[in-house]
């Protein structure tokens, strides 16, 4: 694809309810969108970097800066570039996987739309819908948590994920298990613990959790292998899996039972599919994590999660879980605990340009 222009658009989307984790509380999403324009083609991408470098080293202002200063000029210089070539073209610049992923996403969307191919076909999807789980943040009290979980159960979500941290773990998990019986339940620590907390984390074993997600810091892969010797609950890695290579290393090290694949964290949907293929070959269950994406990323995630390696419900909640209004005309909706995989060309969704203009903070267009 010969790129004629690339637009970087910043939007601000208020969240329906504040979302609190061990990294802090979000009340709105500052999102960087990428639009690539070529001869008779257009595609959109979404950068999942947060406002501050808490979940990872990346943050949205930094993502826009590195795109404008380094990544996009190099992409223009490369001439005609296909989506499968984007990662290699940008390889000289270290890191910045979320920024690179957004660019690759936009180029792939344009290519698939032009070819009349769906995102699901590109991702190897074999299902037309995927089970939907919901991620529940940290609250000021257990009763408040239970009220929110009840709401999500009533909406039909088939799996509940609770954020945990030291001081907010055993009690809320016990309360949710007692109230909601055998509903599929898992927890996400977002690196909040250390190996010395192994015996404490083992107290979660009696609650029959699907998994404990990323209990230890990103770099402590070997420590996760040691943790597996103490904790019976399956250990899932999130932040530690930043590429197909890191996934292979974790598997061979015996550090992981289950992998959470987030396309932005690993550098794009194409790398995410490679990780899924690797995990399937090693009989490691996979599920699709979320980064509070708009309908663009949610559509892509639904298609990715329809790949046969994805055996557990992912964080592909309805658009209304986070946003009163989405930026696409076909928001992701929950149907009996499932979301449909879009079948149209590219991401299979259409932007609501009038609403998009309303929530736009600023827009910059770059040309070769």
Residues taking part in catalysis:
163, 262
131 beta partners = 338
Token digits for 52? 């501050």
Instruction: Note the Cα 68 to chain centre separation in Å.
Output: 24
Q: Do 238 and 260 meet the contact criterion of CB atoms below 8 Å apart?
A: yes
d(CA 215, CA 236): 8
**What letter does residue 232 receive in the DSSP assignment?**
-
3-class SS letters over 240-256: CCCCHHHHHHHHHHCCC
Comparing CA positions, the residue from 211, 215, 212, 173 lying closest to residue 194 is: 215
3-class SS at 123? helix
d(CA 123, CA 216): 30
**What letter does residue 168 receive in the DSSP assignment?**
B
Question: Exposed, middle or buried: residue 160 (CB in 10 Å: 0-12, 13-18, 19+)?
Answer: buried
The Cα-based distances of 327 to 13, 18, 70, 357 in angstroms read: 9, 19, 28, 10
d(CA 266, CA 101): 8
Comparing CA positions, the residue from 270, 259, 326 lying closest to residue 300 is: 270
The Cα-based distances of 53 to 58, 62, 183, 215 in angstroms read: 5, 9, 33, 19
């Amino acid at each position: 694809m010969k790129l004629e222009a690339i637009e970087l658009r910043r939007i601000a989307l208020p969240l329906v309810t504040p979302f609190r984790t061990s990294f802090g509380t979000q009340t709105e999403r500052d999102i960087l969108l990428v639009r690539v324009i070529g001869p008779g083609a257009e595609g959109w991408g979404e950068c999942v970097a947060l406002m501050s470098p808490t979940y990872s080293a990346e943050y949205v202002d930094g993502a826009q800066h590195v795109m404008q200063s380094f990544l996009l000029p190099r992409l223009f210089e490369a001439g005609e570039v296909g989506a499968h070539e984007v990662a290699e073209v940008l390889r000289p610049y270290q890191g910045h996987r979320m920024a690179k992923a957004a660019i690759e996403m936009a180029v792939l969307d344009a290519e698939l739309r032009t070819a009349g191919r769906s995102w699901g076909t590109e991702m190897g999807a074999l299902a037309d819908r995927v089970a939907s789980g919901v991620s529940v943040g940290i609250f000021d009290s257990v009763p408040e948590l239970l009220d929110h979980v009840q709401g999500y159960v009533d909406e039909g979500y088939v799996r509940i994920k609770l954020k945990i941290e030291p001081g907010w773990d055993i009690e809320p998990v016990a309360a949710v298990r007692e109230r909601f019986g055998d509903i599929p339940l898992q927890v996400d620590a977002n690196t909040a613990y250390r190996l010395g907390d192994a015996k404490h984390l083992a107290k979660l074993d009696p609650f029959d959790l699907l998994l404990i997600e990323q209990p230890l810091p990103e770099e402590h892969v070997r420590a996760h292998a040691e943790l597996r010797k103490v904790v019976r609950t399956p250990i899932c890695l999130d932040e530690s899996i930043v590429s197909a290579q890191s996934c292979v290393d974790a598997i061979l090290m015996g550090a992981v039972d289950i992998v959470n694949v987030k396309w932005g964290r690993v550098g794009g949907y194409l790398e995410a599919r490679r990780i899924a293929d690797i995990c399937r070959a090693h009989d490691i269950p996979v599920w699709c994590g979320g980064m509070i994406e708009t309908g663009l990323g949610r559509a892509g995630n639904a298609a990715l999660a329809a790949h046969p390696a994805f055996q557990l419900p992912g964080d592909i909640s309805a658009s209304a879980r986070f946003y009163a209004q989405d930026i696409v005309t076909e928001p992701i909706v929950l149907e009996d605990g499932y979301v449909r995989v879009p079948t149209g060309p590219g991401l299979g969704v259409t932007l609501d340009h009038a609403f998009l203009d309303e929530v736009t903070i600023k827009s910059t267009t770059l040309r070769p």
